[in-house]
Amino acid sequence: MTNLDHGKFTRVTTIFHSLLGLDVFLLFFSGYAIMFHDELWWLMALMGGPAGVSAVHRVAGMGLIALIVFWVVLQIISPTGRGNFREIIPGKDDVDAFVQDIQFMLGRVDERHPNARQFGGYKADEVPLLSYIGKGVVFIFSIELALLTVSGLLIWSDTALTGLFQTRGAAMAFVTFHGLLGVIMLMGVMFHIFEHGMHPAFYPLETKAWIPRKLVPEHHGDEEPETTGIEKLSLAPSWGTVSTVFGAMVVIGIVSVLLASIFAEGYPVPRELLVGGGYSGLLLTVGINIGVLVLGVGLFLSLYGNVIRRRWERQLEEEMRGTSAGGEAPATDDD
């Protein structure tokens, strides 16, 4: 491993990341099976029809609430959590980094601000735990999760929602707000899958999100090398083609979901689904299914990351057993 793996997760964080990813994917699959039930009829059928997909969405929603509560409590009671929280608070350096990035793009400065650095071959002590962009992603994602959770609880029951807001128009406006938040979050998740799955240094999987940092050495050998080790990396032969195709799929999926969300009706959907609730063209249907395929790739990579973690742990266990056996052998011979 090299310093490119700066910012590795703890074991608790890797487990939380996996559970959160699985829960969010279930929310997306069930939510969009409801929202686009014409285009994603097969996904709804896979989840057991209207009643089944509604149950999956609600169970996943409760799981999301449980995960959020757990993470907030963990950040409060653990020293590591409190320290990480202080690290992600934006400061003056982050504002300066944003301004300097604009100047850099305009050609007025020769390099980016240290707080804008992420990977790029820098050493770990030269790169912040999170760049100003990373901090922005954390805050945006947190706000989206909070708003989705609150709005989801409010629209849990159609009758309760109508009674709360007095008029059906106001109630449906709040329902639409929940759906739009889901679309916005979908874009972020798709870009997240692309960024971390197609990163040229880590393709096809950025393992630091799954393998705990205590199991990963900072470098090979007895001494830390002077370089970052980036010169030892080489692009996988398939990276160019796969990243281009997958990037196109991400764009097509996002655009299709955005367009289809304008025409979609009946969200959230009652127990009985009425087919034909909105516009459904062939290209739009294909695009939405491509978007779901991108989410499917993300789910696969998440599950594959856990497989890689288990294989890595097993390999370390075998190496430790081999080392122990090798150390005991001389003592036996002396006897």
Residue spans of the domains in the chain: they are: 7-215+237-322
Q: Distance (Å, rounded) from C-alpha 218 to C-alpha 11? A: 16
Q: Distance (Å, rounded) from C-alpha 178 to C-alpha 50? A: 19
- 69 has a pLDDT exceeding 50: yes
Q: Distance (Å, rounded) from C-alpha 222 to C-alpha 232? A: 18
Q: Distance (Å, rounded) from C-alpha 25 to C-alpha 259? A: 21
pLDDT value of residue 63? 95
Largest CA distance in the chain: 88
**How many residues can be counted in the chain?**
335
Please tell me the CATH superfamily of domain 7-215+237-322, with its number: Transmembrane di-heme cytochromes, Chain C (1.20.950.20)
What angle (nearest 5°) sits at the alpha carbon of residue 233, between those of residues 209 and 7? 30
Q: What confidence tier does 323 reach under pLDDT thresholds 50, 70, 90?
A: confident
Q: Quick: pLDDT tens for 96-154.
A: 988 998 998 898 988 888 777 665 556 656 666 678 888 888 888 889 888 888 888 87
Query: 73 or 262, which is more confident?
Result: 73
Look at residues 285, 264, 260, 282 and name the one whose alpha carbon lies nearest to residue 273.
264
- 24 has a pLDDT exceeding 70: yes
- Amino acid at site 233: L
User: Considering the entire predicted model, what is its pTM?
Assistant: 0.81
Do 256 and 39 form a contact (C-beta atoms < 8 A)? no
Look at residues 295, 208, 287, 207 and name the one whose alpha carbon lies nearest to residue 251.
287
Q: What confidence tier does 330 reach under pLDDT thresholds 50, 70, 90?
A: very low
